[in-house]
Amino acid sequence: MTESESIRAVSLPWGAMIVAGLVGGVLGTVVGWLGHPTVPLASVACGALAGSGGYLLGSMVLLPWVARPLEQWMAIWPGALLSRLLATGIMAWLLYFPPPEGDGGFRAALVVSHVVSIFLDAALLSRWSRSLDRNPVHES
């Protein structure tokens, strides 16, 4: 078997990546609202939307549905983290309108939703990459 025959092209589990972003957004909203109950819920929701939406937009830059060799996915991972951070910053800038009560809820929801999404993404991708040898469903 030659080296080119042993390389498998796989696509990332992008459905699970979307779920990670949604879970991060929900947790960001809850934490931001519980931590700052006097801040309007709309401000907290905008922060969570910026955090999880930035994660999702930055993830879509990867084109996770395109099948590539696993080595390429690992090589572009640092760029994906940077694109997620930039997309989150841009979305936060677009959605930020300081409420008269302060912006603590917005910032808390933004940080929690982004960090939770990134941690969930890392956990699911490590589990997914370990399962490739046992699960032929991921093969393209």
As a whole number of angstroms, the distance between CA 63 and CA 77 comes to 12
Mean per-residue pLDDT for 45-65?
90
pLDDT above 90 covers a percentage of the chain that reads 26
pLDDT beyond 70 at 44:
yes
Q: Judge whether 116 and 22 are in contact, CB under 8 Å.
A: no
74 or 54: which carries more pLDDT confidence? 54
User: Domain boundaries in the chain?
Assistant: 12-131
Give the per-residue pLDDT at 122. 87
Task: From 122, 136, 112, 89, select the one nearest 16 (Cα to Cα).
Answer: 122
pTM: 0.78
